[in-house]
Structure 1
Amino acid sequence: MSDFAPTGLLQNPHAQSILASTGLRRLRIYPKARAMINASKTVILDCGDGHQLLGEYAAQSKRSKGLVTLIHGWEGSSQSSYMLSAGGTLFHAGYDVFRLNLRDHGPSHHLNRELFNSARLDEVIGAIKTIHQTYPHEWQFLAGFSLGGNFALRVAAKADEAGLSIRKTVGICPVVDPAKTMMALESGWWVYEKYFVRKWQKSLQKKIRLYPELGYKDNLLKLKTLREMNSYFIPNHTPFTSIEDYFKAYNIAGAALETLSSPTHIIATQDDPIILAEDFSRLATNEHLHIETKQYGGHCGFVKNYQLESWLDERLAELINLNRYPSGDPAKGAHSQ
């Protein structure tokens, strides 16, 4: 596998972070993802305790190599460009693909009355269990992007306790310390905070139209920053009384990943404008955890050339193939290293 070595403008972290999700790249992605999209069917998952999540399942017409479940980032969805790109690559490589929507992401706002928050790990574990039971495969894989990477790593750390068998988990630019990520959004290039404020407000507006009894419609109009939105919604619509307690609930620094019991791989960048590279040194030491850090790539970017092709998709397929075929025998479908 060649290293990720972008040139020129593609060494800029903001260019990487933005190009990965542009409409132009989506046009480039579609031909590769078309087979997966055409094979996909929408599925409502019973996650236990009356909760439901929405996803899209694409099965091979012939025998598959295994099932890869993908989890998007905050305010993304199963239809996000990076989800289609990675899913299309994995489907082309012979895997079934399940693209999971977190609560209130994608067209799923109607399924649950209560709002999404990042501490809702139990329902994601419940969703993964239902996926594995409904679509049994000998080889089950899990991968997530940004906040979805944080969820994937927490699921992997709870896998034994939950009775899940996951062959490998991959977290791409996962959120490690939510408080530091929020500070980076607030103090960094204003485009990122405005992007998430706009997306979150749009999602909350959709939710309040479905459930007006939640009662935040008038307050939402007054909230202009992520700090203001967190200060209102955390004490009023989560079990947490403070922002600090909420962020601690899904912080994976320290001991959170000590219980990992299966191969787990993190792909991160040194120039991520949202997730600080220094945070990865604070993760628990675990024989199953490997951290791969690239000099460039921005936040979930990894655009390798001006044709907007993704190095990340190739790397993700390689990591999963190598878990199936540790010898790296290309004749068996793995990439050589």
Structure 2
Amino acid sequence: MPVFTSDFSPTLPFKNGHFNTMYRPLFMKDTCSFLRKRITTWDHDFIDLDFSLVGSKTIVILIHGLEGSSESKYIASTSKHLNKKGLDTVCFNLRGCSGDDNLLLGTYHSGKTEDVDFVVKHILENYKYENIIIIGFSLGGNLTLKYIGEQSENISPKIKGAIAISVPIDIASGEVEMERLKNKLYLEVFFKTMKNKILEKAHKFPEFNLDKDKLFKATKFKHLEKLYTVPVFGFESPEDYWAKASAKPHLLKIKRPTLLINSKDDTFLSTECYPYDEAHNSDFFFFEAPNYGGHCGFMTSFKPSENTWLEHRIERFIRENIQINIL
């Protein structure tokens, strides 16, 4: 599919990637009233699903980013907008992110699509929806793209398409980019919650034998992966994790209309995270790279009512390319 030419054109302050990235979580007031359902997983854990229903035949599964939840502003704003357009939504809170710690030592990672598959099958088996769309943000976007690609031969006909926003589809180079000085503040915010969660897991599972000294000194994602992700989820090394978890190798396998939006000023993303070639060589994978937008931002002005470009872009892709009738 051709690469889309973006029409995103923010006012001057929002042309700064950092400003746009931080404005949504700090200043937007979006909230959404969800009805929570806790489902038991095959491995004796639980996943919390937060529904917002308007009586639709179509449901949109929303997947948040690293250390996010259904309370993330981009989840709330997308859910509210889609509800107004007549679509049901459900936010899939990744394990350990719903406000309650999950029961197992393992939580989630960028490539853990078995959990996405479990949630999709739960929706298929317990609800009578005619259409399912998956929308993921950042890490949740990587899960979305990887799932749609790797399941291409077995995917349910009820899954009509997907959208991913601000996604580090190449984890190895994305982590290098994230660890640059320009992203120091973001990294500190992520590491604070991630280290606390790993410490809590070590307390609950003493057999885990966490090297707490190394955890306290960790300054890179690779350090946390060596301490937690690799041993807990059975990877051979951080490099093995990066290769197996990245969505990029799966893009050309996608067989449902799927859109990736990565802004060119997203400071989290490396050059490898802009898959122009894959989009040009696919019949189903679409790519859009606005000049501005930051990471999961896409704010246009200081007026909240005008900050709906992303929600309207999602709506338009659903209507025009996934071809679902919405209000």
Same fold, judged at TM 0.5 (above)? yes
- The worse-fitting range, judged by mean Cα deviation, of 181-190 and 296-305 is 181-190
**CA shift for structure 1 position 49:** 4.2
Deviation at 1:144?
0.2
Q: Equivalent residues in 2 for 1:86-235 (5 A)?
A: 86-164=78-156, 165-189=158-182, 190-216=184-210, 218-219=212-213, 222-226=216-220, 227-235=222-230
1:236-257 deviation digits (Å, cap 9, x = unpaired) = 3231121111110112224x22
Give 2:3's aligned residue.
none
Matched with 1:253 is 248
Taking a change above 3 Å as real, the CA distance of residues 333 and 252 of structure 1, as seen in their structure-2 partners, is closer
State how far apart, in whole Å, the 2-side matches of 1:170 and 1:42 are: 23
- Partner AA of 1:55 in structure 2: L
| Residue identity in the other structure for 1:139 | N
- Distance in 2 (alpha carbons) for counterparts of 1:51 and 1:281: 39
| C-alpha distance in structure 2 between counterparts of 1:282 and 1:202, whole Å | 40
Shift of 1:167: 0.9
Separation (CA, whole Å) in 2 of partners of 1:167 and 1:274: 29
Shift of residue 283 of structure 1? 3.7
Alignment match, 1:296: 292
5+ residue gaps in structure 1?
327-331
Question: In structure 2, what is the equivalent of residue 16 of structure 1?
Answer: 20
State how 1:76-95 maps to structure 2 within 5 Å.
Answer: 76-95=68-87
How far did residue 232 of structure 1 move? 2.0
Query: After alignment, is 138-147 or 216-225 more displaced?
Result: 216-225
- The 5 Å alignment of 1:262-273 reads 262-273=256-267
Instruction: Please say if residues 171 and 242 of structure 2, whose CA atoms lie closer than 8 Å, have aligned partners that are also in contact.
Output: yes
Of structures 1 and 2, the one with the larger relative CO (CA 8 A, separation 6+) is: 2
| 3-state SS, counterpart of residue 179 of structure 2 | helix
- Secondary structure (helix, strand or coil) at the match of 1:269 reads coil
- For residues 29-87 of structure 1, give each alpha carbon's deviation from its aligned partner in whole angstroms, at most 9, with x where no partner exists: 23xx3xxx1xx221123443444322101211xx4151000000011111111111111
Q: Distance in 1 between matches of 2:138 and 2:205?
A: 28
On the 8 A contact 2:278/2:285 being kept in 1, the answer is no
Q: Percent identical across equivalent pairs?
A: 26
- Report the Cα offset of residue 322 of structure 1: 2.8
Is 1:3 aligned to 2:7, yes or no?
Answer: yes
Aligned to 1:281: 276
Q: CA deviation at 1:203?
A: 2.5
Moved more, 237-246 or 281-290: 281-290
Contact between 2:173 and 2:272, CA under 8 Å: does it hold in 1?
Answer: no
SS at match of 1:100: strand
Q: What SS does the corresponding residue of 2:117 show, helix, strand or coil?
A: helix
Whether contact under 8 Å (2:61, 2:89) holds in the other structure is yes
> Could you tell me how far apart the structure 2 residues matched to 1:323 and 1:137 are?
19
Deviates more, 1:272-281 or 1:68-77: 272-281
Larger mean CA deviation between 74-83 and 217-226 belongs to 217-226
CA distance in 1, matches of 2:181, 2:20: 16
8 Å CA contact 1:270–1:277 kept in 2: the answer is no
Q: Which amino acid aligns with 2:79?
A: G
1:109 Cα shift? 2.1
- Using structure 2 for the length normalisation, give the TM-score: 0.88
- Whether the 8 Å CA contact 1:110–1:207 is kept in 2: the answer is no
**Cα gap change, 1:135/1:158 in structure 2, threshold over 3 Å: closer, same or farther?**
farther
Deviation at 1:173, TM superposition (A): 1.3
Code of the residue aligned with 1:20 in structure 2: it is R
Q: 1:162 to 1:130 in 2, by over 3 A?
A: farther
Task: Give me the whole-angstrom Cα distance separating, in 1, the residues matched to 2:199 and 2:136.
Answer: 26
Query: What letter is aligned with 1:186?
Result: E
Distance 1:333 1:104, change over 3 A: closer
The 1-side partners of 2:270 and 2:322 are apart by 31
Give the aligned partner of residue 329 of structure 1: none
Uncovered stretches (5+) of structure 2, i.e. residues with no partner: 1-5
> Using the alignment, how far apart are the partners of 1:301 and 1:174 within structure 2?
12
Cα distance between partner residues in 1 of 2:302 and 2:174: 29
